[in-house]
């Protein structure tokens, strides 16, 4: 298949592109506008692949988006491009409305134009797979409830509200125009190449530099953690085998409080980093509790039984194995994150070749 991936230079998108290229079967077109969180150095395998092509396009540019879709005429579109940081959405919601809602609309229109030009056989094989978040469901009050594919939407932040809106647009284009759509809602991802503003890489890199490890409130918010490479494998399974019109929740079966995550990271670093920053005896000493953010959801937890039963997907990593792999990756790849922290990665945009 020729697969168009939007946001393929981002955290989850780059993991997906790496997995698609590793499988050795698919052609990949990576459409990304390279905002601050986009980094083509996260796809080192793409440099020498003839099955990879990069297009620097902003989904807010409808004409350019349509041109790329019609130029490459993909068999499927995997839509991951999004503004995704909750704190940034609180400070500046406009960018989230533009990218996550208007950008998705533009991509849907381009995909629909391509779809309507296809033969009936090609139409039956075409897929538009929209990648979303469990945050659209709001939060869970109980300790045993789980988000299912039929849970009502109740987003709490500008970010989750914009993603909820994009989910609704995708389903509407499926219902109204017959576009073969798929929607997946995932839990919190973690793993290699994660942008340092997010919790796990932020804690790792701050600890290595002897900086405070900020934790909102008392750190009792609960999240379900999913190793990003497990997520990439799930997305491919849904694309290839999912039922058009269906939704699939993807979770890691790893519910942890934020403070538990931070403490576990500190303990791993204590084990793996013998040369600690000056003045730091125990990494846990760096934990600093700060004022909670507005509208902070208390608990997310995914019921992933549908994708397990229908498509046979299960995460390969436990939280313990995935987190250890993640810490090792950041210790072994300092050049990548130092370029991100310095901003030099934005000056060294590296593309790919091929079709």
Residue 248 is inside which H or E element, if any? strand 247-250
What is the Cα–Cα distance from 249 to 309, expressed in whole angstroms? 12
Q: Which of 32, 135, 167, 255 is catalytic?
A: 135
Selecting among 55, 134, 224, 317, the annotated active-site residue is: 134
Other residues' Cβ atoms within 10 Å of the Cβ of residue 148:
15
Does 230 qualify as catalytic in the annotation? no
Q: CA–CA separation, 223 vs 202, rounded Å?
A: 16
Pairing of strands 255-257, 222-227: antiparallel
- Token readout for 210 is 């002897």
Torsion of CA 10, 153, 95, 196, to 10 degrees: -40
Q: Round to whole Å and give the CA distance between 200 and 215.
A: 11
Has 159 been annotated as catalytic?
Answer: yes
Radius of gyration of the chain (CA): 20
- 32-62 burial: b if 16+ Cβ within 10 Å, else e: bbbeebbbbbbbeebeebebbbbbbbbbeeb
Helix ranges (H only) for the chain are: 11-23, 62-72, 86-91, 93-96, 103-116, 120-125, 158-177, 199-208, 228-241, 258-272, 305-311, 319-332, 334-342
Is 190 an annotated catalytic residue?
A: no
CA distance 202 to 24: 33
How far apart are alpha carbons 4 and 204 in whole angstroms?
Answer: 33
Structure tokens at 244: 């058009």
Largest separation between any pair of C-alpha atoms in the chain: 68
Active-site residue set:
134-135, 159
């Amino acid at each position: 298949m020729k697969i168009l991936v939007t946001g393929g230079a981002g955290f989850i998108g780059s993991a997906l592109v790496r997995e698609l290229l590793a499988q050795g079967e698919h052609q990949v077109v990576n459409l990304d506008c390279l905002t601050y969180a986009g980094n083509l150095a996260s796809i080192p395998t793409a440099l020498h692949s003839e099955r990879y092509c990069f297009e620097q396009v902003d989904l807010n540019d409808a004409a350019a988006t349509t041109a790329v879709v019609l130029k490459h005429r993909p068999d499927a579109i995997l839509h991951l491009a999004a503004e995704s940081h909750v704190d940034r959405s609180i400070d500046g919601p406009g960018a989230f409305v533009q990218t996550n809602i208007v950008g998705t609309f533009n991509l849907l229109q381009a995909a629909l134009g391509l779809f309507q030009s296809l033969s009936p056989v090609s139409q039956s094989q075409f897929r538009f797979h929209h990648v979303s978040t469990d945050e659209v469901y709001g939060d869970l009050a109980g300790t045993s409830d789980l988000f299912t594919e039929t849970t009502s939407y109740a987003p709490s932040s500008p970010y989750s509200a914009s993603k909820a809106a994009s989910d609704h647009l995708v389903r509407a284009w499926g219902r109204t125009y017959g576009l073969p759509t798929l929607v997946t809602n995932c839990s919190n991802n973690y793993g290699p190449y994660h942008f340092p503003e997010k919790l796990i890489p932020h804690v790792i890199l701050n600890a290595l530099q002897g900086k405070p490890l900020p934790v909102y409130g008392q750190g009792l918010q609960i999240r379900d953690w999913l190793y990003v490479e497990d997520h990439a494998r799930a997305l491919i399974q849904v694309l290839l085998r999912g039922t058009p019109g269906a939704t699939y929740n993807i979770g890691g079966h790893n519910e942890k409080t934020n403070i538990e995550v931070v403490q576990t990271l500190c303990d791993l670093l204590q084990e793996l980093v013998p040369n600690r920053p000056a003045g730091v005896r125990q990494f846990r000493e760096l934990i600093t509790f700060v004022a909670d953010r507005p509208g902070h959801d208390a608990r997310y937890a995914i019921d992933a039984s549908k994708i397990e039963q229908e498509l046979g997907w299960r995460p390969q990593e436990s939280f313990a194995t995935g987190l250890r792999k993640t810490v090792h990756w950041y210790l072994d790849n300092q050049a990548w994150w130092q370029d991100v922290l310095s901003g030099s990665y934005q000056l060294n945009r590296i593309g790919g070749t091929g079709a």
